[in-house]
Amino acid sequence: MITGFPMAGKCQINRSVKVLPIKRFLKSFGEEFTQYIGIAVDEPIRLDRVVRSANQISLLQKYGYTEQMAFDLCRKCDLLSPVYDFAKRGGCWFCPNARDCELRHLRNNHRDLWNKLLELENTPNLIGNKWNTLTQTSIHDKEEQFMWEDRQMTIFDFIEIKKKLT
């Protein structure tokens, strides 16, 4: 049942579709195991949790890698997700934490998903009836913003037109 959009800053999707299934799988595994996780040395609060869990190991911690060092190594080995070509983070296509650059990419390259997002916001009787209930931003607001931005003339367009007219 659709209840609304994920709540910005309090999204539970990661927990319900990633963390819980992994935990369920590990519980049913029935053998000794080691879980390798990607937490960097400059993430002390998250690392503290790893230290407390007996069978989790962070290789980034073991080899003294910060987030930036891991990023640089991935870039060097051509392992970066293409999402980093236009954004600093990746996420679900409907994520309420998405920045304008991510939303723009979705609108320009995956119009079907963008339209689906607009359509979802029109669903009646949702608990969270706006894409981002925290900032009270609707995806329809973003559609209008991008539509006007697309129509904005640049100084180069203006110079070109002026050249043609003179």
The reply to whether 128 sits near ligand SF4 by the rule CB under 6 A is no
Binding residue for ligand SF4 (CB under 6 A) from 6, 106, 133, 142?
6
DSSP string computed for the chain: ---BSPPTT---HHIIIIIHHHHHHHHHH-S---EEE---TT-HHHHHHHHHSTTEEEHHHHTT--HHHHHHHHHHTT---GGGGT-S----TT-TT--HHHHHHHHHH-HHHHHHHHHHHT-TT-SB-SSBTTTTB-HHHHHHHHHHHHHPPPHHHHHHHHHHH-
Cβ 15 to ligand SF4, closest distance in Å?
8
* Closest chain position to ligand SF4 (CB): 91
CB burial readout 129-142, b (16+ within 10 A) else e? ebbbbeeeebbeeb
The reply to whether 83 sits near ligand SF4 by the rule CB under 6 A is no
Cβ 116 to ligand SF4, closest distance in Å?
14
Binding residue for ligand SF4 (CB under 6 A) from 39, 60, 95, 103?
95
- Binding residues with ligand SF4: total (CB under 6 A): 8
Stretch near ligand SF4 under the rule CB under 6 A, chosen from 6-14, 34-42, 48-56, 140-148: 6-14
Cβ 93 to ligand SF4, closest distance in Å?
9
Stretch near ligand SF4 under the rule CB under 6 A, chosen from 5-13, 22-30, 140-148, 158-166: 5-13
Report the C-alpha gap between 93 and 110 in whole angstroms.
9
Residues 13-42 that bind ligand SF4 (CB under 6 A): 13-14
Choice between 9 and 44, CB closer to ligand SF4: 9
> Is residue 90 a contact partner of residue 71, using CB atoms and an 8 Å limit?
no
The residues binding ligand SF4 (CB under 6 A) are: 6, 11, 13-14, 91-92, 95, 97
